[in-house]
Structure 1
Amino acid sequence: MEILFDNMPNPFAYFIPIFAVLILGEAYISYKEDKELYNLKDSMASTWVGIGAAVLNTLTKAYQIGLFYLIYELFEPLRVAYLGYENLGWAWWVWVLCLVGDDFNFYWHHRFCHTIRLFWAAHLVHHSSDKFNLGTAFRNGWTIFLYKPIYWLWLPILGFNPVMIALCMSFNSIYQFFLHSTLVPKIPVFGAIFNTPWVHQVHHACNVEYLDRNHGGILIIWDRIFGTYRDKEVELETKFGVLHPPTKHDPITLNFHEFNDIWKDVKSVKSWKAKFMYVFGPPGWSHDGSRKTSKMLQQEWEEQQQLLHSSSQQKPSDLQVANV
C-alpha cells in the first residue's frame, strides 16, 4: 500500500506544543536557579533563525521528496532485475532499517558539515550561540536543505519508499531537539548506544579538545566506530559557541556571514589550489598558515598536555638541574 505525499503526516505538528512547554520549563528553571541558560537577544536570534528554517524546510520538502521519488522510480527496473524485488514495502523491519540508514546518513552529513568549509558555512548558524538550551535546537541553517538530501539517495535506490525516508528524517530531527539541554545528567547504559544531552554538549562546545566530536543524531555508535566520540569531562568547564563568533546576531548575518568570508578568501589568492581549499578545505585552513584548523589546534593542545605531563613527572632533582 503506497502512502501519497499529499496525505503524508507532519510529525512536527504534534510535537510543537511539547517543544514549547519544555522550553518554557527550562527557562523557568534557569530563572529560578540563576543558571543563565537564556538571554533575550540570543533567544530572539534562535527564534527568527528557526522560523526561517521552518519555512524553507517546508518549501524544499517537495523538492526532497520529488528527488527521492525520481531516484526510487528510476532504479525500480534495476532492483527487479538484480535484487528480485520492486521495493522494500512497509514492514516493521523495513522501518527499523530505514531509521538506522537515515541515522548513518546524518552522521556523515553532519561530520562533513564540520570538515568542509562550504558545508560548515551552511551549518555554522546552529553553533553560533554561546548558550546551550532547547531553543538552540531550532537554529538550523537556511541553505542546508539544498544539499542535505544527496546523502540519502542510496536509500530510494535500494527501494525504501521516499515518504518513509522523509518521515525517518523527521523523527531524527525531533529526537535531536531533546539533546540540547544541560539539565539532563549522564545516562550510562542508554548513553552507550544512543546520543544524549550529556555528550551533545561536547559537540556544541568550542573547547579545543572538544572540537569536531559526537556527530551522531539518534545513535552515538557511529562516533565510536569512526573515531569521533568523546565523553564530557566533569572537571572541564564547557564553553559553547564557535571559536570566531559573528559580530552581529541578526538571522541574515548568522546564515550568510561565513559564505561572505569564503568569497573574500577566494578573491584574495591567485592560486586555483588555494581557491579550492578555501571552499572545500577544512574550516580554518589558510594558504599562509595565518589561521589554524581544528586538527592543528588539537595537535598543539596535545603537545602542551604532553609537556605538562612530562614536567610533572620529573623528579625534584631533575628540576633543580634544569633550573641551573
Structure 2
Amino acid sequence: MPNPFTYFVPLFAVLILGEAYISYREDKDLYNLKDSMASTWVGIGAAILNTLTKAYQIGLFFLFYELFEPLRIEFLGYDNLGWAWWVWALCLVGDDFNFYWHHRFCHTVRIFWAAHLVHHSSEKFNLGTAFRNGWTIFLYKPIYWIWMPILGFNPVMIALCMSFNSIYQFFLHSTLVPRIPVFGAVFNTPWVHQVHHACNVEYLDRNHGGILIIWDRIFGTYLDKDKYLETKFGVLHPPTKHDPITLNFHEFQDIWKDVRGVKSWKAKFMYVFGPPGWSHDGSRKTSKMLQQEWEQQQKALQAAGQQKTPDLQVANA
C-alpha cells in the first residue's frame, strides 16, 4: 500500500525552503544549520523505521480485524463496516481521537515521553520540526487504534487515515501563520500548536490534538496562545548533544539510571510509568507541580498589587 505522505514530500520541501527564505529576508531566526541537520537526520531515520514497521502495524490491525469478525456477525449483525463515505468520516474522527490520547499519554507517562521527547527537542519551531519523530514510537503507537479493526474498520482505511493525520500536522509547525478565528475553534492550527511545543511553565502539556482541537476543549487540556507572552520552544531539560542517537535515546538512558538507583519497586515503577519529572526524593518536579507553583506565584503577585493600590491612593490624595 503506498503511503500518501511520500507524495507530499516535494510540497513539504518547497514550503520549508520558502519559510527559510522568509526567515532570512525578515531576520526572524527560524532556522539554523545545526538544528536543521538534526531534524533532517532524525526525520530520515523515522521515515525508514516507519516504513519497516508499517507491515507490523497493518498486520496487527488485520489480526484483530479477522479475529473479531465472527463476534461482529453474531453480536453486531455485520462482518465489516465497508468503504462508504460516512465510514471514512467516522474513521478520520476515530483516528484523531486515538491520536489525542496517544499524544497525551506521551506527555504524561515517562517511558512514552522518552519515545516522543525528540519531537520537542528543537528550540526552533519551524516546518522542519515536523519531521522530528521518535524512532521507537512506532512500536507501541498502534495499540491505541486496536478498537477500530475490532469494530470492523478496514485496516487499510485506518492506515490511510493515520497518514492523512500526519500530513495535516506538518502544516501546524510554523510561527508565520496568524490566529484563524472560526476554523481554529474546531481544528488544530499553528497558532495553538505553538503552545504545545513551548516550554513555558504555563504552556506545558497542552493542546495534544492532531487535526481537531475539540478533544482538548472536551478533556480540559486546551489553552490559547497569549500573544503578549514570549514563547520559548524546546524542553525544560534539553539534551547536551544533538546527534540523532542522543536525541532518540538519552531519556531511556536516564530512566535506566533512575531505576537502578533506587531499591523500592514502587519507585522503580514510577520512574518508568510515572509522569516525567517525578522523583522519589522530591529533587525534581513534574509539570503539574511546576504549574501549581507558577499559579501560587501569580496569586501572590496579584495580592501584592492589590495591597499596594490603597497606599498609592493615599499618597496621591
Please give the range of the TM-score, normalised by the shorter of the 2 chains.
Answer: over 0.9
Deviation at 1:318, TM superposition (A): 6.0
Matches within 5 A, 1:1-324: 8-317=1-310
CA distance in structure 1 between the aligned counterparts of 2:179 and 2:189, rounded to whole angstroms: 8
Find the aligned partners of 1:54 and 1:141 in 2 and give their Cα distance.
10
> Does the CA-based 8 Å contact 2:206-2:223 persist in structure 1?
yes
Alignment check: 8 A CA contact 2:103 2:208 kept: yes
Deviations 1:262-308 (A, max 9, x none): 00000000000000000000000000000000000000000000011
What amino acid is aligned across from residue 260 of structure 1 in structure 2?
A: Q
Q: Does structure 1 retain, via aligned residues, the 8 Å contact 2:5–2:166?
A: no
Please report how far the alpha carbon of residue 9 of structure 1 lies from its aligned counterpart in structure 2 after TM superposition.
Answer: 2.9
CA distance in 1, matches of 2:110, 2:266: 15
Report the residue type matching 1:113 in the other structure: C
TM-score for the superposition, normalised by structure 1 = 0.95
Distance, in Å, in 2 between the alignment partners of 1:243 and 1:128 is 9
Structure 2 Cα separation of the partners of residues 86 and 105 of structure 1: 23
Q: Distance in 2 between matches of 1:317 and 1:305?
A: 20
Q: Which amino acid aligns with 2:283?
A: S
CA contact (8 A) 2:192 2:224 kept: yes
* Post-superposition CA distance 1:75-103 (Å, at most 9, x none): 00000000000000000000000000000
Q: Name the SS of the counterpart of 1:314 in structure 2.
A: helix
- Unpaired runs of 5+ residues, structure 1, are 1-7
CA distance in 2, matches of 1:54, 1:13: 10
Residues 201, 287 of structure 2: 8 Å contact kept: yes
What is the deviation of 1:14? 1.4
Q: What SS does the corresponding residue of 2:8 show, helix, strand or coil?
A: helix
Q: CA deviation at 1:317?
A: 5.0
* Cα distance in 1 for residues equivalent to 2:20 and 2:99: 29
Change (3 A) 1:304 1:90: same
Whole-Å separation in 1 of the counterparts to 2:7 and 2:162: 16
Aligned-residue sequence identity (percent) comes to 88
Cα distance in structure 1, aligned partners of 2:144 and 2:236? 28
Q: Distance in 2 between matches of 1:54 and 1:317?
A: 62
CA distance in 1, matches of 2:283, 2:112: 22
Q: Deviations over 1:206-254 (max 9, x none)?
A: 0000000000000000000000000000000000000000000000000
The number of aligned residues is 314
Offset, 1:13? 2.2
Whether the aligned pair in 1 keeps the contact of 2:62 and 2:155 (CA below 8 Å) is yes
Q: Whole-Å Cα distance in 1 between the matches of residues 40 and 243 of structure 2? A: 11
Over aligned residue pairs, what C-alpha RMSD do you find? Answer: 1.2
State the 1:316 CA deviation: 4.6
Aligned partner letter, 1:10: N
Deviation readout 1:129-166 (Å, 9 max, x if unpaired): 00000000000000000000000000000000000000
Q: Deviations over 1:94-143 (max 9, x none)?
A: 00000000000000000000000000000000000000000000000000
Distance in 1 of aligned mates of 2:29 and 2:268: 42
SS in 2 for 1:295: helix
Instruction: Give the deviation of 1:310 after TM superposition.
Output: 1.1
TM-score of the pair, normalised by structure 2: 0.98
CA distance in 2, matches of 1:260, 1:280: 15
Once residues 117 and 162 of structure 1 are traced to their aligned partners in structure 2, the CA distance between those partners, rounded to angstroms, is 29
CA separation in 1, counterparts of 2:300 and 2:115?
37
Provide the rounded CA distance (Å) in 2 between the counterparts of 1:258 and 1:131.
20
Q: For 2:230, what is the secondary structure of its paired residue?
A: coil
Distance 1:14 1:152 in 2: 24
